[in-house]
Each structure stands twice: as structure tokens, then as C-alpha cells.
Amino acid sequence: MEKKSLKKYFENKEKTCKEYQKTFGDYIEEKLSLEDEHLLVLHVKKCKECMEELEATYMFASAFKFLEDNDDDEGIRTDIKDLLKKSEEEYNYVKRHNITLIVEIITTAVLIGVIIAFFINADIREMLLWGK
Ligand SMILES: [Zn+2]
């Protein structure tokens, strides 16, 4: 009984292959959020079945787009790896940028703290001197 509920917990935590596959269309059209894109990329890299499904969806979508709009200079794009690479680069860029921002905020906060501490100390010193 306990094992069962634990299994259910993990199943809820991680999307199933079917759920990922449902989002492939949106992924190819770049409609997914960065976080969702990242999870999808991580999943297809370790799940052969989903990678194949994504490749097929991508090829089909590219071919369809080419037929619809045949003056497209890029022709039919069939290599899903370019798209996956692009997603990873975007994600890494944003993550790095976020970390830089956090470091900047912390540095500023520490600096303000030091300045405040300095003024408080000066005040306390002055008060002590005044008292004497
Ligand atoms: Zn899968």
C-alpha cells in the first residue's frame, strides 16, 4: 500500500511520455515556456522512444511548412538536433543571466549593509564620545 502511493507520487512528479509527446507540436512552434522546453529536452535525451517521435513530428511539420510556403529558402529542415541545441543554449543563457543577477543583488545588499553598519557604528561612536 505504501509502495503504491509512493509510486503514484513519483508518477505525478514526472510527466509521462504521452504527456511529453502531446507538447511536441508546441515545442516545434516554440510556444512552450523555457522551463517546459528544458524538461522536454532533458526527457528526449534519455528517452529513445520520445526522441524518435519528436524527430518524426519535426520532419512532418517541416515538410508541411515547406509545402505550404515553398519559397522558404531553408528548405525542409530535418535535423531536430539543431532545435534541441538551440533550446539548451537559450536555457543556459537565461540561467547564467539569472545567476549573475542574483550575485549582483547579493553584492549590492552586502554593500548597503556595510554602509549602514558603518554609519550606525559612527553614530554609536559619536554618541559615546558625546557622552564622555
Ligand atoms: Zn519518453
Domain range enclosing 29: 2-94
Tally of domains within the chain? 1
Determine the distance separating the centroid of ligand 1 and the alpha carbon of 101, expressed in angstroms.
34
Position 43 in a domain:
yes
Cell numbers 515556456 correspond to 33
Position 99 in a domain:
no
Q: Check residue 38 and give its pLDDT.
A: 95
Q: Check residue 7 and give its pLDDT.
A: 59
CB contact set of 83 (below 8 Å; sequence gap of 6+): 28, 58
Residue 95 to residues 21, 82, 83: CA-CA distances in angstroms?
A: 25, 20, 18
SS3 track for 24-49: HHHHHCCCCCHHHHHHHHHHHHHCHH
**Strands, E assignment, 1-132:** none
Position 25 in a domain:
yes
Determine the distance separating the centroid of ligand 1 and the alpha carbon of 96, expressed in angstroms.
28
Position 54 in a domain:
yes
Position 122 in a domain:
no
Determine the distance separating the centroid of ligand 1 and the alpha carbon of 49, expressed in angstroms.
6
Position 105 in a domain:
no
Evaluate if residue 2 carries a pLDDT over 70. Answer: no
Determine the distance separating the centroid of ligand 1 and the alpha carbon of 48, expressed in angstroms.
7
- What is the arithmetic mean of pLDDT over 32-42? 94
Q: Determine which of 3-12, 20-29, 30-39 has the lowest per-residue pLDDT on average.
A: 3-12
Determine the distance separating the centroid of ligand 1 and the alpha carbon of 50, expressed in angstroms.
4
Position 19 in a domain:
yes
Position 32 in a domain:
yes
